Amino acid sequence: MSVPKCSFSLKIEAMKKQQQLWLFPFSPFASSPSLFSFLSPYYSSSTAASAAIPDAFDSSSTSSETDAGRLLPLSSILLKDLLLKSPRGLLVLDLLDSGSLRPTADLYSLLFKRCADSKRIEEGRVAHSHLLRSRFHSDIFLHNSIVNMYCKCGSLDEARKAFDDMPLRDMVTWTALITGYAQNNRPNEALALLPEMLRLRMAPNGFTFASLFKACGAASVDKHGEEIHALSVKSGCTSDVYVGSAILDMYARRGRMKDACLVFDRLQSKNEVSWNALIAGYARREEGEMTMRKFSEMQRSCFKATHFTYSSIFSACAGLGALEQGKWVHAHMIKSGQKLTAFVGNTLLDMYAKSGSIQDAKKIFDRLSKRDVVSWNSMLTGYAQHGLVKEAIHWFEEMRSLGVQPNQITFLCILTACSHGGMVREGQYYFNLMVRCSVEPEIEHYVTIVDLLGRAGLLARARTFIDEMPIPSTAAVWGALLGACRMHKNAELGKFAAEKLFELDPHDAGPHVLLYNLYACTGRWTDAAEVRKMMKVGGVKKEPACSWVVIENSTHMFVANDDSHPRMKEINDMWEKIDAKIKEVGYVPDTNYVLLHVDEHEREAKLQYHSEKLALAFALLNKPPGAPILIMKNIRMCGDCHSAIKHVSKVMEREITVRDTNRFHHFSKGSCSCNDYW
């Protein structure tokens, strides 16, 4: 049956039994050309239009029924684009104002939900204003939807105002605002709402507790978690696996893994969320072996790994530099049928980059079906860490040419690359470009410029730059200057920077060690002794230098002058053989890097037992001939070890990579990728 060309008399039998929004056919709407043109496709006379609304026509309708006019469900017209704009605001609200559409609470609820899901805050504001003029202005359910909508759109101040303006609030209202604060990185404000709730005798439910625990995990101080945990136990909510998982995640984010494990073990039932929270906790602490162990237990417990699981494991492998383990997990993900989404792909390419394989990172980037700014930043970070300055600059420019807007992290990466490559002019250009790109420089960007100038030996310019900064200088700023003074042996300026650091952070061992090393390398042993005394009196302890290498999925750690490894005699013998070989081809020990007031012979003996040399000797003992070697180090690599490993790469014909706190050093055939500038 075809639809009469000019008839709006349609009876919707299929929709009658449901709560629907009805459109009156003969009204001011019928005389509006713009509205008619929008709706005209729905009134086509073709059979295709008829088929588009199944069961919409009743052939038994009498002519009197047809003449009287019938109601058309809004779902046939506006639900596809409920937020369609009009000159006055929103089309659907125009229909309400003209009387063409009957206002219902369901319509407003759907409007706020669409605004929240699509982050359309302007349309949400229009709908909010319209609701306040309607007969539903005091409907608590709709006001809860408004609070939720503003929270999901990230406008927490408007959410709080809507909350405060409500004449009546229920538990859903409080939970919506608490969740909004927790999910938008304002945990302290989320936690501040709990005492107000309790004073009003509002009992938190499972959803409330889940958001409160999320806030506790991110809060600036760790003092509310246990109290809220106790309250949840009294409320009987901890038996819920989602609440239990939130408690577990809270303790894990605070670094309290023993408490997290205790909560995990006591969960009456576990799911992927609880397993992921536990695995992520170990991954954040860079406990790679425990992360992999829990992943294996999750598999044995018949829980399928999700993207969150793989992302955590890749992060753990990146922290350890465990390339082979990372490759195994990558293969496991492929076999499980998981798609390479941007979320897990970004952590995967970061793992490859931080584990020394920038080529594999680039392959992952190329395979991503959807790339976001995080994907581009991850690759840019990799290029910067590997000292590939030209590639980093090319990558940055290509990113901009494709319309990807750089953010603070993007600029931090490109500035770091310029610093590692000694490209002062380019670094200053990109720093000035930030303002033109509407990106406000943060303290990290200023630190990187100080580092850029300092590495290049432009210490006076670095000091002037600090003095002219528009924001207060921090310990990181003066730390960058002190590090540069240590590198270029400027004791006076270094002393000034160190004094600033002692004022800002007297308990940090780093500045004390740098100042001691600066005095020692310039022969000021009396001043160096005073720094040692200051450290002893203040209880400041130096972090021991350590290096590690992964052999057959086991991590082997080495500390300078430590003989605790069971194969230490073999390791020492191996290094003595290597030392003799590299001396034959020109290696000369640089005893300036032994910062002890001892004779030359003892200085040279001390150099033999630096942690990266021990790790390298162990890797040469256990890796097959020709296999590449990756060594990780927790502090900056010293100049003597850098020189020694360059010679080892030539004599032993090995590709050797060392990742220290600053960057990667790729040694091959007697040279390093850093070109001796680091």
- Cβ pair 9, 69 in contact under 8 A: yes
How do residues 438-492 score in pLDDT, each as one tens digit?
999 999 999 999 999 999 999 999 999 999 999 999 999 999 999 999 989 999 9
- Helix and strand counts by DSSP (H, E) for the chain: 34, 10
Shortest CA distance to 183 belongs to which of 138, 153, 136, 215?
Answer: 215
Given this model, what pLDDT does residue 239 score? Answer: 84
Residue 394 scores a pLDDT above 80:
yes
Shortest CA distance to 218 belongs to which of 252, 245, 175, 259?
Answer: 252
Residue 601 scores a pLDDT above 70:
no
Helix axes 121-132, 140-152, angle to 10 degrees: 160
Tokens 């199944």 appear where? 54
Of residues 144 and 676, more confidence is placed in 144
Specify the DSSP class assigned to residue 101: B
The number of beta carbons lying within 10 Å of the beta carbon of residue 593 is: 19
How do residues 486-542 score in pLDDT, each as one tens digit?
989 999 999 999 999 999 988 888 898 889 889 988 889 899 889 888 888 888 887
- Residue 658, classed as helix, strand or coil, is strand
**Parallel, antiparallel or unpaired: strands 85-86 and 546-551:** unpaired
How do residues 249-272 score in pLDDT, each as one tens digit?
999 999 899 999 999 999 988 999
- Cβ pair 515, 482 in contact under 8 A: yes
Cα torsion 641, 644, 647, 648: sign: negative
DSSP 303-332: PPP-HHHHHHHHHHHHHHT-HHHHHHHHHH
Tokens 């005389």 appear where? 31
Between CA 480 and CA 642, with CA 519 as vertex, the angle to 5 degrees is: 65
H or E stretch covering 535: helix 525-538
488-517 burial string, b = 16+ CB within 10 Å, else e?
bebbebbbbbbebbbebeeeeebbbbbbbb
Residue 16 scores a pLDDT above 90:
no
Span 406-423, average pLDDT: 94
Rg, the chain, Cα only: 33
**Dihedral in degrees, nearest 10, Cα atoms 604, 605, 606, 611:** 110
CA distance 199 to 189: 17
Token couple for 173? 């209202």
Cα torsion 596, 598, 601, 605: sign: negative
Mean pLDDT of the chain: 84
CA distance 432 to 310: 38
Percent of the chain with pLDDT over 70: 86
- Cβ pair 334, 353 in contact under 8 A: no
Token couple for 140? 């608590």
Of residues 289 and 553, more confidence is placed in 289
User: Which residues is 554 bridged to in the sheet?
Assistant: 551
Residue 1 scores a pLDDT above 80:
no
Given this model, what pLDDT does residue 413 score? Answer: 94
Given this model, what pLDDT does residue 48 score? Answer: 33
Cα torsion 363, 364, 368, 372: sign: negative
Phi, psi dihedrals of residue 310, rounded to the nearest 5°: -65, -40
- Cβ pair 100, 39 in contact under 8 A: no
Token couple for 342? 């941007």
CA distance 613 to 460: 36
- Cβ pair 180, 208 in contact under 8 A: no
Token couple for 536? 């002893």
Cα torsion 593, 596, 598, 602: sign: negative
User: Which residues is 275 bridged to in the sheet?
Assistant: none
Shortest CA distance to 522 belongs to which of 498, 497, 492, 491?
Answer: 491
- Cβ pair 653, 641 in contact under 8 A: no
* Cα 493 from chain centroid (whole Å): 36
Given this model, what pLDDT does residue 74 score? Answer: 56
Token couple for 149? 């909508």
